[in-house]
Structure formats: C-alpha cells, structure tokens
Amino acid sequence: MKTHTRLFQLFLLLLPSQLALHFWPQFAFVNGLKIDYLSPTLYLTDLIFIAMIFSWIFSLSTSIKKIINTRYSFLVTGFIILNLLFSVSPASSLLLWVRIVEIIILYFYIINNKFKINFVLKPLAIGVIATCLLAAAQLLTTRNVGGVFYWLGERPLGIYQPGVALVDIFGVPFLRPYATFPHPNALAGYAGLLFLFSLSIKENVNRFAKSLFRICCLFIVLAAYSQAVWIGLAASFFIFKIKFSIRAAMLGALALSLLSPLFFQHLDYGLPIYISQRVDLSITAGHAFANYPIFGVGLGQFIRVIPQYFSSPIWWLQPVHNIFLLVATETGVVGLAVFILFLLKSHAIRKYAFIFVFVLVTSLVDHYWLTSHQNLMLLAVVFATIKNNDFTH
C-alpha cells in the first residue's frame, strides 16, 4: 500500500476529531468578541491531508497538469478573486477560500484514486464507533470525559455550563452529547449521513461489523436529539416509496429559502427563543443579500455584517441556519448560481437521491454542512466515493 493511501485511511479515521490550533488575528473579532467561525484554524487532519497530497503528487507517474482541469481551475480562481475584491474582510475570506480549495482537492484526490467502498468505510466506521462510545459517556456523566479525548478535540462540557445544548425530558434536563464536534446537530448530521452511506453497500462486508456501525450511527442520532436529522432520515426513506423529482424539490427548497426573509418579517414574534433567533438571522440574511446581491459580503463574512442590521446577543453571532441563504449572502447571485449548477449535475442527485435528500433537508435548518470542518470533509468523501462506486442494490 502506498504512503498516501495509508495517510488517507488515517485521515478518515481521525475525521471526527476537531483537535486544532486556533489563531486570533484582528479580523477574527466582531465588536471586540472572538468568533470561532472567523478564526484561522489548523486541524490535525489538515496536517495529515497536506502530507497525503504531497505524497500522492510525488508518487504520480504523470504530470499533475494532466489531472487538473485547467479551464475549470481558471473559472474557480476568477470567481474567488471577485468574491475577495467585494468581501467586507478580504483577508478573512481568503483563508476560508483556502478551506474550500482543500475540499475540492480532497474530492478530486478520491476520484482520481478510485477507492473502493470498503477501503473508505472501514476507517470511517472505526471512528464512528469510538465517537459513539464518547457520546454515550457524555450522556451518562452529563459532562466531558477528558483525558485522551481532550487530544481528539473534546471541549469542556457540563450540564450547568452556559450555552451548552440541553434537552428537557419530563422536566429533567439532559446534556445533548457533543463528542468531538462543535455542536450536537453537527454530530447527528455526520452520523446520519454515514448511516445512509452504509445502507448503499452491496459489497461483501462482515455482518456484525456492519450492524455495529449502523447501531452506533443511530444511537448518536437519537442521543444528540437533532430533530432536523430525524426529519431528514425520514424524508430519505420516504422517497423510496414514491416517484419524486429531486431537482424540482431542490429548486423548490431554493425558492422557499430565498423568500423566507420576506415571510419572516411579517411573522408574529410570540415564538420560542430558539426559533425567533433563527428568524432574526434569516431576516438579516435577506437584508445582506439585498445590499450585496452580485458577489455577496465575502465567504464566511455573514457574521461580520449581523451588527449592521440588529443588535444580537453575544451567543447568537453565528451563520444563518439555511445553506441556500448562507451561500447567497456570502457569494451573491453568481456564487449561488454556481452552487446550484454543481448540485444539479451531482452524481448523487441522479442515482443516490436518498442521501442527497437527507443533506438537502438538514441544510434548510442548519449550516454545519458548510461551516463544520468534519461535516464538510465528510461530504467530499461520501460524494466522491459515490461517484467512484455504483454500489446500491
């Protein structure tokens, strides 16, 4: 086995980890507050990824120029430059564009090497089983476990710690486990996507190992108490039973997302706080999109413009909870059009609609598929592996 393929499996194994070094330049602050989403971050998996890509390039018997689509590269580079020119913070956007380029390279690395499903799924499964054990321990102890898990990115948690996600069941508060993820919703989305991914397999896989992996995924989804993921899973199974136009559904979701700020402006504010905060973010996204319609406010800069439209609590300086609104606000009409065309041409939308629908549904009410390092990397891994392997029954 080549060095880069061993590194790739190590990368997949440690993908749930969020061990990272954060930097705090001036552009990572908004109104004097540190914003995690704006902090340049070097993850452990980034270091493995860099070593993997360089090892792969040195092992190639052909020129890297023959692999790269020059015309595509010029178009992407041109759009990035335009987005940076119109960004409210070009330096901050540039570092976030580096992250997107990393995702693109990962996608094409997997495509070029044509990895089989078992090769990809095995390290992912081991990582999920370990994550499940950590999530169970956090659920039972109502706090972080610490020790070696600190070095995998587990953050301090406690049921009485301000800002920690809880669920109230019959008047008793329970900690929603984070494992090594930034939020329980991101953890549940990661596990839900891998559960559906595993259902696609027709290759000969050890039944016990496959069952354990799926049970761990479902446990995480239930324990993390992400209702959006529950609905997403239900929707993905529902489309098996009916004839359904995924493209029409996606375009409908796009229209609903872009019109939602107008609707929310007339919504009665007798709403629970967690809903009204999301409504406020959607309205803010609508204002920002109207003011920066062509190239947006700059990749990753939605949080920076929130104070221009309303005075928000410290803990609510975060991206709008809708992927379409987030892309429209940060990259404008041009970026949104590119994003939609990419989705419409995706192999997943044609042959693996149940996986695509899950991501689509959860994207309508949360932002982690674009803002969480682990979730974004997993999307690239899953969709690239899908393109390489026709493995559904």
The DSSP line for 189-246 is: HHHHHHHHHHHT--S---HHHHHHHHHHHHHHHHHHT-HHHHHHHHHHHHTTTS---H
- The answer to whether 327 and 288 have CB atoms below 8 angstroms apart is no
Segments of the chain scoring below 70 in pLDDT: 61-71, 201-205, 240-244, 268-270, 311-315, 347-350, 390-393
C-alpha distances in Å from residue 209, one per residue of 125, 133, 206, 301: 9, 15, 5, 43
CA angle (213, 214, 218) in 5-degree steps: 120
By three-state DSSP, how is residue 379 classified?
Answer: helix
Domain spans, the chain: 3-113
DSSP β-bridge partners for residue 175: 166
Helix 3-13 to helix 90-113 angle, to the nearest 10 degrees? 120
The enclosing H or E element of 175 equals: strand 172-175
Q: In whole angstroms, what is the distance from residue 269 CA to residue 283 CA?
A: 13
Q: In whole angstroms, what is the distance from residue 134 CA to residue 132 CA?
A: 5
pLDDT at site 392: 44
User: CB 388: neighbour CB atoms within 10 A?
Assistant: 18
pLDDT at site 173: 87
By three-state DSSP, how is residue 43 classified?
Answer: strand
pLDDT (tens digit per residue) in 252-307: 889 999 999 888 877 766 677 777 888 889 999 999 999 999 999 999 999 999 98
Q: Strand 166-169 to strand 172-175: parallel, antiparallel, or no bridges (unpaired)?
A: antiparallel
In the numeric block, the tokens 């998996």 are attached to: 45
pLDDT at site 343: 85
